[in-house]
Amino acid sequence: MMRTTFLLLAAVCAFAQAPFGLAIHGGAGNVTAARIGPEAEKAYRAGLEKALAAGYAVLEKGGPALDAVEAAVRSMEENPLFNAGVGATLTRDGTHELDAAIMDGRTLKAGAVAGVMHVKSPIGLARLVMERTPHVMLIGEGAEAFARAQGLEPVPNAFFRTPGQWESFRKLKEREKARPTTKDTVGAVALDRHGNLASATSTGGMLDKLPGRVGDAPLIGVGTYADNRTCAVSCTGWGEFFIRTVVAYDISARMAYRGAPLEKAAAAALDAALKLGGEGGLVAMDAAGRVTQPFNTPGMFRGLRMSDGRSSVALFGNP
């Protein structure tokens, strides 16, 4: 009898335990099923599944949310389909300049890099900035020097080039009036078994950006933010509009000051940015494991895997 009661109690406790898991995005943009075709759709889905599996494996073992978001983002940096790491988009000069940021919701520690051109995993370098320097952000040459000092092997800038991105760049140059376009930035938010949140974002930025331009992704509180007391956020879209309304921190602040629930806070903050113009979306998670993935573009590559069984991968359609 006592044994049964104990087992029952243990089962109830396990069930009542806060869920853990992660949510990711692979960028918001003008993507529809017709535009990308079935082959690419399959490949994007597989890429998102792989990133989810990489992050979830960490969490399942009891690892920290910080490791999970880094693992998920690294997986997408290595995947040439996404605009981060290999497959990064091109600047107006035909070069690749990469931005990334990571944040720990438990300690509010953060690390970021911007404009790096020879670092294989910008998110890995952002993590090193967070853990091995007294700073939050390193840019350009200084960031490259720090990477070398940390023993990271530099790669040539062409390492990031893919035929697909080169084609987009070439086509854009043919057109009279180019407009910056968003493309396949990657990001992840996670909640671990210990109740800690983390967030990470990595990107090549906007196609045709001016060399030296920095987007929202590496800016703490804009494209990336995490605070255990509120939420973890990773944004994607036309960065300039996100910067002007400080989207990620706005979500956290709405939750902290107004007691707004995650979904409402995220929708309102995103709306404020998109009212100025531009386009985009985000993924966000709160400390109870609630997730929201709003966007105003025809599609946003996104996925979710939670310990309570919620699991999805989607590319198009309504948030």
Residues carrying an active site annotation: 185
Tell me if 315 contacts ligand ASP by CB under 6 A.
Answer: no
The answer for 103, left when phi > 0, alpha when psi is -120 to 50, beta otherwise, is: beta
- 122 Cβ contact list (under 8 Å, min separation 6): 77, 84, 85, 98, 99, 100, 113, 116, 202
Instruction: Give the shortest CB-109-to-ligand ASP separation in angstroms.
Output: 22
Angle between helices 262-275 and 247-258 (to 10 degrees): 140
Q: Sort 97 into a burial class: Cβ within 10 Å, 0-12 / 13-18 / 19+.
A: buried
Site stretch for ligand ASP (CB under 6 A), options 32-40, 107-115, 149-157, 200-208: 200-208
Site stretch for ligand ASP (CB under 6 A), options 34-42, 192-200, 210-218, 253-261: 210-218
Q: Which residue from 115, 215, 289, 294 is in contact with ligand ASP, where contact means CB under 6 A?
A: 215
Tell me if 218 contacts ligand ASP by CB under 6 A.
Answer: no
Q: How many CA atoms lie within 13 A of 198 on its CB side?
A: 32
The site for ligand ASP, by CB under 6 A, has a size of 16
Instruction: Give the shortest CB-31-to-ligand ASP separation in angstroms.
Output: 11
Tell me if 183 contacts ligand ASP by CB under 6 A.
Answer: yes
Q: How many CA atoms lie within 13 A of 103 on its CB side?
A: 28
Q: Are 182 and 29 in contact (CB under 8 A)?
A: yes
Tell me if 165 contacts ligand ASP by CB under 6 A.
Answer: no
At residue 169, what are phi and psi to the nearest 5 degrees?
-65, -45
Site stretch for ligand ASP (CB under 6 A), options 134-142, 155-163, 236-244, 290-298: 236-244
Tell me if 206 contacts ligand ASP by CB under 6 A.
Answer: yes
Give the footprint of ligand ASP on this chain (CB under 6 A).
27, 83, 182-183, 185, 203, 205-206, 215-217, 223, 236-239
